[in-house]
Amino acid sequence: MKSVVCNKKEIVPSKVVCIGRNFVEHIEELGNEMPSSMVIFLKPNSSVTNKLYTQEDEVHYEAEISFLVKDGKYGAVGFGLDLTKREIQSKLKKKGLPWERAKAFDNSAVFSEFVSFEKLDLLHVKLYINNKLVQDGGVELMIYKPNEILNEIKTFMSFEDGDIVMSGTPKGVGKVKNGDKFLGQIFEGDKLLVQSEWIVD
């Protein structure tokens, strides 16, 4: 089973629960319809990794504030990349089919270490590629706030300790290219909580 690191301890998530279309400007940049309810999908444990790989198909990055769940609550926060095979996703959406082939493939959920936090409403994600800021957005821009997300998921699905919630991506998504340098950061207000770097392999 794949694992992540939380406060220097290894944790095995049974699943990753992801929220789609949670930032208005991201919805607009992809030309999607505004959702009438929360968009929720899953990634399996096999998707979890701390490496960033290219795939045979073209892949897009989506930087996200990601949460580790403990005792039914958010216990820690980390930086996550929801990798998406965009062309495949577009074809599936047009046919009204599920997204798993575009979202749930191996190594499609890339995470930093997870760390403790204090103020949920002040959390903010930034992604730099080759030293250029490409994504920048916080909880204040979310359509559905983190606690709303947690409560909605609980209406139909149970959490195991160590499960991860990915809360959606701000505008600025794009292609993952071999050799690119990624720097992902999570802030609490002006305080940098955690960051991680990857070179695309």
Q: How many domains does the chain divide into?
A: 1
Strands 174-175 and 181-188: unpaired
pLDDT digits (tens, 9 = 90+) for 44-99: 999 999 999 988 899 999 999 999 999 999 999 999 999 999 999 989 988 988 98
Q: Enumerate the β-bridge partners of residue 79.
A: 65
The verdict on pTM exceeding 0.75 is yes
User: In this structure, are residues 168 and 64 in contact, taking their beta carbons and an 8 Å threshold?
Assistant: yes
Task: Characterize 84-109 residue by residue with b for buried, 16 or more Cβ atoms within 10 angstroms of its Cβ, and e for exposed.
Answer: bbbebbeebeeeeeebeebbbbebbb
**What pLDDT is attached to residue 56?**
85
Range(s) of the domain holding residue 57: 4-199
**H or E segment at 173?**
none
Residue 182's pLDDT band (cuts 50, 70, 90):
very high
pLDDT digits (tens, 9 = 90+) for 87-112: 999 899 889 889 899 999 999 999 99
pLDDT exceeds 70 at position 27: no
pLDDT digits (tens, 9 = 90+) for 123-142: 999 999 999 999 999 999 99
pLDDT digits (tens, 9 = 90+) for 146-161: 999 999 999 999 999 9
**What pLDDT is attached to residue 50?**
97
Which CATH number covers residue 72?
Answer: 3.90.850.10
